[in-house]
Structure 1
Amino acid sequence: ISGTKLRKMIMEGKIPPEYMMRPEVAETILKFKDPFVH
């Protein structure tokens, strides 16, 4: 699993495949404007 690929998908608003992330987790992350800003 590539963290870079996963972050790119999230930043593009795409839900990653289930083997990479649970759909409900991805949906929650996608609700944030900047999910990877501390």
Structure 2
Amino acid sequence: MNLMGKAMRLNPHHPGWYHIVAFMTLIKQIQRTFAEKSGG
């Protein structure tokens, strides 16, 4: 996480960070859907 922070400071406009944010959002959506299905 520290390395990621350094890289973001060096190049905050790198397009890769947008993919990371989208990926994290996708994971949260999947986890929420999974919780709803397993919860009832």
Query: Given the two structures, how large is their TM-score scaled by the length of structure 1?
Result: 0.32
- Structure holding more helix per residue: 2
**Higher RCO (C-alpha under 8 Å, 6+ residues apart):** 1
Query: Given the two structures, how large is their TM-score scaled by the length of structure 2?
Result: 0.30
